């Protein structure tokens, strides 16, 4: 009798709490001008996924800082950067195109996108194998071997990776977030184990790609079981090709700083730069969640309406970002002394790097709006314009000022990116 009474009171209390929370969220909408119930339901899972991701990423960074030499870590980061840059010639926009189709009820595009990604991966494979042969000719056995791994696992990983975007497009933020948490946790455990297998970067590279591919394969299979239909999108290849072509410069620019630093300054300096950006980039990742959260919601709303309503939301997000960056700049020296004592030379670079993230609060929702409404010409401009700025800045500033030049280039790029995206959003 007593357990039943306690159980009923528990459920009554939870119902009352849910009703109160719902009322508070609806009340807050008069000030935020945002569907706060949708944001809380989807945002909770995205924040949870991001929190776990940050914890795993920082824990792995701490492990790297204590158990891997700077040379080893720099070489490992260089291969990941090459893999990402070579991905510029694949169908890199297929994931976004698939998500947009699923948001319109075309769930068969999940499998369709997998087949297209595999079919169009040949240029990536040939480029990776060509680079492997080049480094083998130069006598660099590590890079030659690592790029063979990249050539055969990265295409499969890219084809399997859209599982989270599939769930998010269905507005199933719980499954999407939990699948990402599962993938990241599995990869984290594998990487920690790899750190103790020997002081060799090739082990880290192989473990990373193999673990990510296995985990992504499992959750891709789970996503297939939640498809509501098998309807495909005849425009998927056409639209994803547009997105991919416009992303070529962006994919190159995204890792261009790492490639240039490694080539001009060496793996040790690349490791220093990577640790400088490690924490600030986590906040950037949080902000990118607003793209995935916004895309399904913005797909059915007129662009003219969004030009009026989005700016208030962006202002609130910018104020939050500014506060987080200010706090990080203050505590960065302490964080590095406690967690990354080997990388104390990264502190000043990290504080300046963090300033670039202030501008990252502006583009996500604006880009989601342009993508949802298939503003292809505007997307070409907002993708390529800032990328040209970043590549030019790195080419000029890194030879002159080293790591600090790369940091300044990031600030210039993100300020320019925010300005260009805002301009195109208002005029398209």
What is the DSSP track for 318-330? HHHHHHHHHHHHH
Digit-coded pLDDT (tens) for 410-420: 999 999 999 99
Could you tell me which residue, 28 or 277, shows the higher pLDDT? Answer: 277
Spell out a b/e string for 343-370, using b for 16 or more CB atoms within 10 Å of the CB, else e.
Answer: beebbebbbbbbbbbbbbbbbbbbbbbb
Tokens of 53: 């991701």
Per-residue pLDDT, 309:
76
pLDDT at 300 over 70: no
Which range has the worst mean pLDDT, 216-230, 236-250, 307-321? 307-321
Cα torsion 210, 213, 218, 219: sign:
positive
Identify which has the larger pLDDT, 253 or 33. 253
pLDDT digit string, tens, across residues 55-66:
999 899 999 998
Q: Which residue has the higher pLDDT, 376 or 241?
A: 241
Q: Look at residue 131 and tell me whether its pLDDT is greater than 50.
A: yes
Q: Label residue 7 by pLDDT band (50, 70, 90).
A: very low
Tell me the C-alpha to C-alpha distance, in Å, between residue 284 and each of 59, 118, 290, 312.
18, 30, 11, 20
C-alpha 382 chain-centroid distance: 18
pLDDT(129) > 60: yes
* Model confidence, pTM: 0.83
Rounded-to-integer distance, Cα 238 and Cα 350, Å = 40
Q: 17 falls in which pLDDT band (50, 70, 90)?
A: very low
For 322-365, what is each residue's pLDDT tens digit?
888 999 999 999 999 999 999 999 999 999 999 998 888 887 77
Q: Which helix (H) or strand (E) holds 251?
A: helix 248-265
Q: Tens of pLDDT along 235-293? A: 999 888 888 887 889 889 999 999 999 999 999 999 999 999 998 888 777 666 655 55
- Long-range CB contacts (within 8 A, 24+) of 194-199: 195/63, 195/64, 195/67, 195/68, 196/67, 199/68, 199/69, 199/72
As a whole number, mean pLDDT of residues 140-156 equals 95
The confidence band for 10, taking pLDDT boundaries of 50, 70 and 90, is: very low
Domain segments of the chain as ranges? 35-234, 247-428
Poorest-confidence range of 23-37, 385-399, 400-414?
A: 23-37
Reading phi first (left if > 0) and then psi (alpha if -120 to 50, else beta), residue 266 is in left
pLDDT score of 210 more than 60: yes
Number of residues assigned to the chain: 428
Position 16 scores a pLDDT of 54
pLDDT band of residue 403 (cuts 50, 70, 90) is very high
Residue 348 CA to chain centroid, in angstroms?
A: 24
DSSP string, 9-53: HHHHHHHHHHHHHHHHHHHHHHHH-S-HHHHHHHHHHHHHHHHHH
Cα–Cα nearest to 259, from 112, 84, 58? 84
185: pLDDT strictly greater than 90: yes
Q: Across all residues in the chain, what is the average pLDDT?
A: 86
Residue with tokens 């700016």: 311
């Amino acid at each position: 009798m007593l357990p039943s009474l306690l159980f009923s009171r528990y459920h009554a209390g939870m119902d009352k709490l849910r009703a109160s929370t719902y009322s508070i969220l609806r009340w807050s909408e008069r000030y935020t001008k945002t569907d706060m119930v949708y944001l809380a339901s989807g945002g909770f899972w995205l924040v949870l996924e991001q929190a776990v991701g940050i914890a795993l990423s920082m824990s792995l960074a701490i492990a790297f800082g204590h158990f891997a030499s700077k040379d080893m870590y720099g070489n490992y980061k260089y291969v990941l950067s090459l893999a990402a840059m070579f991905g510029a010639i694949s169908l890199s926009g297929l994931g976004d195109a698939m998500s947009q189709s699923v948001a319109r009820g075309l769930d068969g595009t999940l499998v369709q996108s997998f087949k297209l990604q595999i079919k169009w991966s040949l240029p990536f494979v040939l480029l990776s194998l060509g680079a492997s042969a080049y480094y083998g000719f130069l006598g660099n056995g590590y890079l030659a071997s690592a790029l063979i791994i990249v050539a055969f696992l990265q295409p499969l990983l890219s084809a399997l990776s859209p599982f989270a975007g599939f769930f998010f497009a269905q507005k199933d933020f719980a499954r999407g977030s939990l699948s990402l948490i599962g993938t990241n946790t599995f990869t984290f455990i594998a990487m920690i184990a790899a750190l103790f297998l020997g002081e060799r970067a090739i082990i880290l590279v192989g473990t990373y790609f193999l673990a990510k591919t296995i985990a992504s394969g499992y959750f891709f299979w789970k996503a297939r079981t939640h498809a509501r239909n098998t309807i495909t999108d005849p425009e998927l290849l056409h639209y994803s090709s547009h997105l991919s072509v416009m992303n070529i410069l962006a994919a190159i620019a995204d890792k261009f700083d790492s490639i240039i630093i490694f080539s001009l300054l060496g793996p040790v300096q690349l490791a220093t730069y990577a640790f400088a950006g490690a924490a600030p980039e986590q906040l950037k990742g949080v902000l990118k969640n607003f793209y995935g959260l916004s895309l399904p919601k913005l797909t059915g709303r007129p662009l003219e309406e969004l030009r009026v309503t989005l700016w208030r939301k962006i202002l609130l997000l910018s104020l939050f970002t500014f506060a987080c960056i200010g706090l990080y700049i203050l505590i960065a020296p302490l964080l590095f002394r406690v967690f990354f004592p080997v990388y104390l030379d990264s502190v000043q670079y990290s504080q300046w790097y963090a300033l670039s993230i202030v501008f990252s609060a502006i583009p996500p929702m604006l880009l989601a709006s342009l993508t949802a409404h298939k503003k292809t010409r505007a997307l070409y401009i907002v993708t390529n314009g800032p990328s040209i700025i970043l590549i030019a800045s790195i080419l000029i500033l890194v030879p002159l000022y080293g790591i600090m030049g790369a940091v300044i280039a990031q600030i210039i790029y993100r300020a320019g990116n925010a300005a260009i995206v805002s301009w195109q959003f208002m005029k398209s």
